[in-house]
């Protein structure tokens, strides 16, 4: 994690400004959402150098109706630029040198319109004063900011909570609005208070100087509303595809609304098929061994020999890339050892010999003491500091993060894993074996549900936590165990999409899924996958091998 001094001042305050065409788009949304007549009081809660104020001055149909403009910008120099952009405008205006958080927690003013692009500032860089005010703002607005990790959320709420009924808003927001756990409270709040909610999505590269995918969230403050969300997907050529969903309160993530209604209906229909169950009913996946210092408690084969660590060394699968197939086999294990990777886990268990009584193992422990490991949090709270708890393994493996899709791998060598690869065990009485689960897992249905349940991070990586894995939709196909011999070599050859196709075909041939339904699911999964992979254009341009290296690092 970067400290304050390592981050540029611009980044610290979230000072990236909105290009003119995007400003125009936001203001046009505002115009459409506002009633056709009447005066407008408008709030811009984080005005920067005034991009939206300049845009407003040149949007005649809005500026003609403006009565009052309140802009907030805590950065003094930028505030001055803002004031300058307002010279000569024919309506009342104020630029406040304050924080939108403090303002939102106290002001009684109400507005017809709110517009802007809130600062993207990670929690560790938010000022102490703002941190103290955020819960007060939340209480006043009726939204919980517990777990909120970025300033854009409370700044947005500060502005939206000051809208009169019928008032409209339009903001550039990060796409984590759709899936982020921290934004889930905001999503619930939006659903209950706003109508005509719409998210416009622009692919990366749509606007000069903006490298990421852009999302614009707009809507109108309403009463007794039937919550709906429209998704408007723009392409680089300027065309647009649009669809609308009724928002329910059952699904915390909004990723599902990125599917068009036909795709979403197909997914919901698939969930009702008799063979489709939640993964949690067949197997249990858990966070695996937490050592507290992976680079000390895992060693290479050479270190194991040099420090005579044999009595404590247990086979380790260090990274998912060492398990290229659907099974982690003895020959994969031999290859892992040969690669020079950290392929042993040190388990100084109570019933094993005392390493302090042997010269070389004791020297190894001293090397950890010299590095201050006994004072590290996880090591400090156990006695002795080098005894890693819960050293257990599973019959299945599943990586916490993946590029294209998560793979369920049969652990044939009984290897252990640390916290980057989950361990899984089949539930007693499950309708399928570990081989059967692995062979049927990589279907369009299951991988679509992974896209819907999981969250994506920088570089388009998909992350799943155990509770999300439990909810994945899988097909309980006892006959699937026989397919693994055909699918495993394809996975090893890097034919990831062929594995999916063959799994789908096998499920259709076994009469477990309807081919037309599967086609829709495959298309839906493909759409979400593409969107995730291009989320960060700089990363998307990287070949998969380079992304592999990033993940392995
Ligand atoms: C992403 S920029 C957007 C500026 C302008 N709205 C635009 O779209 O060009 C966010 C702005 O928020 C300002 N800011 C940072 N912390 C703030 C806070 N607590 N309250 C209000 N604005 C803040 C930053 O100084 C920065 O100018």
* CB-ligand 1 contact for 138 (6 Å cutoff): no
457 and 539 Cβ atoms separated by less than 8 Å:
no
Q: Which of 308, 302, 303, 293 is nearest to 362 (CA)?
A: 308
Q: Across all residues in the chain, what is the average pLDDT? A: 92
Q: How far, in Å, is the centroid of ligand 1 from the Cα of 117?
A: 7
484 and 326 Cβ atoms separated by less than 8 Å:
yes
Q: Which fold has domain 10-258?
A: Rossmann fold (3.40.50)
Tokens of 405: 């899709």
Ligand 1 atom with the smallest distance to the CA of 47 is 6
Per the listing, tokens 């609005």 go with 177
- Interval 382-400 mean pLDDT: 96
Ligand 1 pocket test target in 16, 21, 45, 48 with most atoms within 8 Å of CB: 48
Q: Which of 240, 216, 219, 221 is nearest to 229 (CA)?
A: 219
**Nearest C-alpha to atom 27 of ligand 1 is from which residue?**
48
Stated length of the chain: 553
**Nearest C-alpha to atom 22 of ligand 1 is from which residue?**
46
pLDDT at 552: 40
| Tens of pLDDT, residues 348-365 | 999 999 999 999 999 999
Q: Residue 147 and residue 151: Cα distance in Å, rounded? A: 12
Kindly list the domain boundaries of the chain, sorted by start residue.
10-258, 276-285+394-536, 290-380
Q: Where residue 460 falls among pLDDT bands split at 50, 70, 90? A: confident
| DSSP string computed for 94-136 | EEE-S-HHHHHHH----EEEEEE-----BGGGS-HHHHHHHHH
Query: How many other CB atoms are found less than 10 A from the CB of residue 53?
Result: 26
| DSSP string computed for 198-255 | EEEEE-TTSSTT--B-EEEEEEEE-SS---EEEEEEE-TTS-EEEEEEE--SS-S--G
Q: Residue 214 and residue 202: Cα distance in Å, rounded? A: 5
Sheet containing strand 401-402, edge to edge, reads 401-402, 462-463, 455-456
- β-pairing verdict for 421-426 and 396-399: antiparallel
* CB-ligand 1 contact for 55 (6 Å cutoff): no
Q: Where residue 35 falls among pLDDT bands split at 50, 70, 90? A: very high
Please, what sign has the CA dihedral across residues 435, 400, 466, 178? Answer: negative
| Tens of pLDDT, residues 72-81 | 999 999 999 9
pTM: 0.87
């Amino acid at each position: 994690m970067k400290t304050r001094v390592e981050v540029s001042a611009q980044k610290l305050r979230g000072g990236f400004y909105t290009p003119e065409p995007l400003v125009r788009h936001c203001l046009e949304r505002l115009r459409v959402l506002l009633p056709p007549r009447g005066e407008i009081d408008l709030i811009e809660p984080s005005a920067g150098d005034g991009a939206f104020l300049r845009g407003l001055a040149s949007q005649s149909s809005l500026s003609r109706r403006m009565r009052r403009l309140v802009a907030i910008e805590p950065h003094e120099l930028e505030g001055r630029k803002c004031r300058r952009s307002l010279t000569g405008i024919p309506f009342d205006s104020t630029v406040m040198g304050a924080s939108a958080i403090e303002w939102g927690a106290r002001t009684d003013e109400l507005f017809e319109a709110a517009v802007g692009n809130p600062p993207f500032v990670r929690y560790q860089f938010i000022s102490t004063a703002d941190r103290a005010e955020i819960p007060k703002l939340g209480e006043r607005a009726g939204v919980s900011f517990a777990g909120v990790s970025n300033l854009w959320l409370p700044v947005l709420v500060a502005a939206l909570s000051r809208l009169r009924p019928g008032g409209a808003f339009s903001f550039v927001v990060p796409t984590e609005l759709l899936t982020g756990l921290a934004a889930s409270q905001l999503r619930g709040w939006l659903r209950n208070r706003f109508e005509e909610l719409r998210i416009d999505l622009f692919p990366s590269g749509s606007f000069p100087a903006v490298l990421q995918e852009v999302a614009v969230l707009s809507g109108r403050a309403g009463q007794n509303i039937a919550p709906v969300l429209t998704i408007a997907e723009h392409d680089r050529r300027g065309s647009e595809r649009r669809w609308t969903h009724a928002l329910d309160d059952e699904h915390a993530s909004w990723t599902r609304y990125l599917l068009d209604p036909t795709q979403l209906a197909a997914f919901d229909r698939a969930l009702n098929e008799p063979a489709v169950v939640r993964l949690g009913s067949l197997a249990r996946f858990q966070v695996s061994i937490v050592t507290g210092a992976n680079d000390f408690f895992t060693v290479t084969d050479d270190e194991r020999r040099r420090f005579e660590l044999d009595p404590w060394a247990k086979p380790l699968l260090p990274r998912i890339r060492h398990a290229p197939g659907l099974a982690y086999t003895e020959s994969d294990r031999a290859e892992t050892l040969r690669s020079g990777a950290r392929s042993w886990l040190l388990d100084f268990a109570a019933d094993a010999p005392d390493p302090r009584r042997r010269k070389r193992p004791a020297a190894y422990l001293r090397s950890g003491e010299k590095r201050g490991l006994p004072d590290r949090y996880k090591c400090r709270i156990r006695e002795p500091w080098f005894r890693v708890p819960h050293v257990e393994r599973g019959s299945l493996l599943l990586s916490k993060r993946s590029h294209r899709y998560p793979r369920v791998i049969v652990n044939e060598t009984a290897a252990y894993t640390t916290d980057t690869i989950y361990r899984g065990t089949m539930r007693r009485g499950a309708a399928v074996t570990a081989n059967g689960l692995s062979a049927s897992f990589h279907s369009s249905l299951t991988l679509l549900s992974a896209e819907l349940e999981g969250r994506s991070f920088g570089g388009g990586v998909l992350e799943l936590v155990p509770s999300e894995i439990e909810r994945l939709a899988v097909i309980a196909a006892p006959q699937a165990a026989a397919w693994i011999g055909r699918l495993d070599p394809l996975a090893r050859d890097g034919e990831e999409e062929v594995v999916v196709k063959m799994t789908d075909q096998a499920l259709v041939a076994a009469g477990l899924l309807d081919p037309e339904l599967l086609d829709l699911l495959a298309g839906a999964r493909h759409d979400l996958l593409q969107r995730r992979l291009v989320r960060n254009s700089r990363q998307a341009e990287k070949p998969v091998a380079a992304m592999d290296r990033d993940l392995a690092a």
